[in-house]
Structure 1
Amino acid sequence: MGIILGILIGSYSFFRVKYALNDTKLTKNKQIMISSIIAILSFLFCLNIWSMAALLIFYLFISSLIADLILVIRKYVIKEKHLNFIPKIHKNGLLAIIIFASIIIGSVYGMNHIELTEYNITTDKIDNESYSILFVSDVHYGSVQNTQLVKDSILKMNNLKPDIVVLGGDIVDERTTKEDMQEIFEELGKINSTYGTYYIFGNHDRQPYAIDYENGNRTFTDSDLNQTIEKNKIKILNDNKITINNDIVLVGRSDAEWEDTIDRIDVNEILNESDLSKYIVVLDHQPVESKENAQEGADLQLSGHTHGGQVFPYGMIYDLSGRLNYGEYEIKDMKQIVSSGLTGWGWPMRNEAKCEYVLININ
């Protein structure tokens, strides 16, 4: 994908830069040399599609295409007697830069604003009671989002006075220091709830990809992580279940790791001998095995992991591929809610979905 994107953007960059240099005093050879250098650099930056450089080059490419479209609209729709400044700022690249800057500013804004998303679900399995579940996932604490913003959001969560708190994995990741790991679980452990706080592992919490990052080493051990979680009175659910107030069964799944190579026990082994007249909530970091969970009698599945795409076009690709990406889905008789997470991963920007914490009201 990186090679294809690099060839596409590199080729476009060559002709776009050469077009911009046509009216300069540079010789043809120098114009070709400059255009070629920029095209080669664009190609190289795109090879790692997960890098910040690739994302910025891609958005500059998109911005330039939008600028081209504006020029066409001005010429053939609005007519040339209007907006005479557009051809000039288009050719010198200023129009594309303005669009690019708008995208980046909006994306940074998106990463630095956290909102509440609320869902209301009705069921005939619970008599004379209602429950609220606060679902928080993908905090990636200490990586790409201001830690004070996270703490401020936790204060707002506390004001919701939820019955149950669920931490849906990737609360920390490879860039999280041991001190930050201890701090975030201490903060999350302070959220007041009627029936406690429950935690499932995500694919980043145990820092399995540390070798891919700058320090090359883990900053805390599994024992450090588990002890910190339990110290703050947070219950770990890892392929086991717990019944709450004789009404709700929380089924916590181990992380599926790579979606196409899931190797974990079947959910029916966990639900075996469970009373399906109770309201069954499956907690799975990744939105996978939804059909299987619905078939086994689950009423609700809560997941995160996708970040709602976080940055264009990843969310669009998820949606086009038919995978669960963000929001509420209906799968047989089961509801599936996929949160975009409290923050993002990798890039300090967000322009798809939003940073959120989720409140589910079950009536």
Structure 2
Amino acid sequence: MRTLLIIVGNIILLLLILFIYTMLWYYIGAKGKRVLFTKRNSSGTKLYWIIFWFLAFSFVIAAILRSTITINNMLTEMFTYISAISLAVFCYLIILFPITDFIKFMLNKLGFRGKGRAYLSTVYGRGISIFIVVLAIVILGFWHAINQTTTNYTVNVNKKAGKIKKLNIVLVSDVHMGIMIRENGIDKLVTSINRLKPDIVFFAGDMVDESTEASLEKYYSSAFKKIKTKYGVYSITGNHEYMNNAEVAIKYMEKAKVKVLKDEAVKVNDSFYVVGRNDAAGGKVKPLKEVLKNVDKKVPIIELNHRPVALEEAEKNGVDLQLSGHTHQGQVFPFNFTTELVFEDSYGYMKRRNFNLIVTSGYGTWGPPIRVGTKGEIVKINLDFSK
């Protein structure tokens, strides 16, 4: 009986989400129709609504194609791009149109007259300016998403790491190879990493997602072999690996000579520990105390945790530096405010006593292929062992 109630509850929730989604898209569609058609019964309105609803539910078509076509397919890729861009446009239209409706309402209440009212009525009433603004946001956001930067940090750890005095770390997270990051993008990533001459490289999860084809996984398994380091490349899983096939992703990482850590700690060069946590999306996660039971706490400990969570647990168990991703820093404004509410630290560097945390905004994108108010990045960390 309980199982049946859960199923019914999930169906009702899904239908409610679908209803709200449809109504929001209809609101946008009605606004768009007013911009494109001045007459109520214009001949092109039927075609307009057909194209509009196709765009609104293109992500469903893309998801079906991805689940049924296992090889790299141009049709699947096309629908994936269409759905991603449509979602980007939708996000900003659903924010800006209510704002302009409110402005229009206030202008009417304030009693604007003459030419000024006619001009404002054209701009705000029909919504032409909103479409222009959103188009500019999406174009600039797309450009920003494909032009990643390098962010530098210097962190001091008051522990001795054998003969190592300084460690040059390169951190990469949330690449989401598939929609935006394809073969050329993978090559660009490898080149960018090597240019920083890292001692060690960390992949902090979500390197792949549900849009990553098998052919692309084979490609990165070859490309990542070209990464040059002193002490190797280490990786963990994020939540999106489990939306595809985590075991396959791990297999291709290991083919690339990348060490995938699954709730385990390894000692590197007999100098420091690297601890890799499983993501909660993959099921049960071991307590950190259990993972570190054979670890010498007098030696520096670097923890890879896809999500910037369990900070008190990390500090309590002697972790010196936690490296995380996941948040994308919200990826598009104003969702950065959401991540700031959810996580104690959703981006950047935080220090608390002897515990250090760095959260990266990630390299790639998920969903809308744009970044607004955030940046895609590779993180370079100069880690000093000062004791």
Q: CA deviation at 1:289?
A: 1.4
Quote the Cα distance in structure 2 between the aligned partners of 1:25 and 1:182.
54
Residue in 2 aligned with 1:56? 89
Q: CA distance change for structure 1 residues 97 and 137 in 2, over 3 Å: closer, same or farther? A: same
In the alignment, is residue 152 of structure 1 matched against residue 188 of structure 2?
yes
Structure with a larger share of its residues in helix: 2
Quote the Cα distance in structure 2 between the aligned partners of 1:197 and 1:182.
18
Structure 1 residue matching 2:240: 3-state secondary structure: coil
- How do 1:247-286 and structure 2 match up within 5 A? 247-257=271-281, 263-286=284-307
Task: Give the conservation status (yes or no) of the 8 Å contact 1:308–1:352.
Answer: no
Could you list the per-position Cα deviations for residues 82-116 of structure 1 after superposition, in whole angstroms to 9, with x for gaps in the alignment?
79844423333211111111121122112211111
Q: CA deviation at 1:10?
A: 6.8
In the alignment, is residue 236 of structure 1 matched against residue 270 of structure 2?
no
Q: CA deviation at 1:300?
A: 0.7
Which residue of the other structure, out of 145, 149, 161, is the alignment partner of 1:115?
149
In the alignment, is residue 180 of structure 1 matched against residue 216 of structure 2?
yes
Q: CA distance change for structure 1 residues 300 and 11 in 2, over 3 Å: closer, same or farther? A: same
Residue in 2 aligned with 1:96? 130
Q: CA distance change for structure 1 residues 7 and 191 in 2, over 3 Å: closer, same or farther? A: closer
Task: Give the conservation status (yes or no) of the 8 Å contact 1:141–1:184.
Answer: no
Quote the Cα distance in structure 2 between the aligned partners of 1:11 and 1:229.
43
Quote the Cα distance in structure 1 between the aligned partners of 2:237 and 2:38.
58
Quote the Cα distance in structure 1 between the aligned partners of 2:343 and 2:258.
34
Aligned length: 337
Quote the Cα distance in structure 1 between the aligned partners of 2:353 and 2:18.
40
Q: CA deviation at 1:135?
A: 0.9
Q: CA deviation at 1:350?
A: 2.0
**Seq. identity, %:** 31
TM-score (norm: length of structure 1): 0.77
Quote the Cα distance in structure 2 between the aligned partners of 1:67 and 1:319.
27
- How do 1:1-363 and structure 2 match up within 5 A? 2=17, 6=21, 9=24, 26=40, 52=84, 53=86, 55-65=88-98, 67=100, 85-126=119-160, 129-205=165-241, 208-210=242-244, 222=247, 224-257=248-281, 263-363=284-384
Quote the Cα distance in structure 1 between the aligned partners of 2:357 and 2:113.
50
Q: CA deviation at 1:282?
A: 0.7
Unaligned runs of 5+ in 1: 211-217
Q: CA deviation at 1:273?
A: 3.4
Task: Give the conservation status (yes or no) of the 8 Å contact 2:309–2:343.
Answer: no
Quote the Cα distance in structure 2 between the aligned partners of 1:285 and 1:19.
45
Amino acid of the residue matched to residue 157 of structure 2? T
Task: Give the conservation status (yes or no) of the 8 Å contact 1:130–1:361.
Answer: yes
Unaligned runs of 5+ in 2: 1-15, 64-82
Could you list the per-position Cα deviations for residues 197-220 of structure 1 after superposition, in whole angstroms to 9, with x for gaps in the alignment?
112122233xx434xxxxxxx6xx
Quote the Cα distance in structure 2 between the aligned partners of 1:237 and 1:25.
62
Q: CA distance change for structure 1 residues 321 and 167 in 2, over 3 Å: closer, same or farther? A: closer
Could you list the per-position Cα deviations for residues 270-299 of structure 1 after superposition, in whole angstroms to 9, with x for gaps in the alignment?
211322121111111222212101111101
Q: CA distance change for structure 1 residues 10 and 343 in 2, over 3 Å: closer, same or farther? A: closer
Q: CA deviation at 1:315?
A: 2.6
Task: Give the conservation status (yes or no) of the 8 Å contact 2:209–2:240.
Answer: yes
Task: Give the conservation status (yes or no) of the 8 Å contact 1:326–1:339.
Answer: yes
Could you list the per-position Cα deviations for residues 117-171 of structure 1 after superposition, in whole angstroms to 9, with x for gaps in the alignment?
1111012213771101111112222233343133123212102111111111222
Q: CA distance change for structure 1 residues 187 and 88 in 2, over 3 Å: closer, same or farther? A: same
Quote the Cα distance in structure 2 between the aligned partners of 1:173 and 1:13.
29
Quote the Cα distance in structure 2 between the aligned partners of 1:17 and 1:170.
36
Structure 2 residue matching 1:257: 3-state secondary structure: helix
Quote the Cα distance in structure 1 between the aligned partners of 2:28 and 2:367.
26
Q: CA distance change for structure 1 residues 228 and 6 in 2, over 3 Å: closer, same or farther? A: closer
Quote the Cα distance in structure 2 between the aligned partners of 1:25 and 1:91.
15
Quote the Cα distance in structure 1 between the aligned partners of 2:32 and 2:215.
48
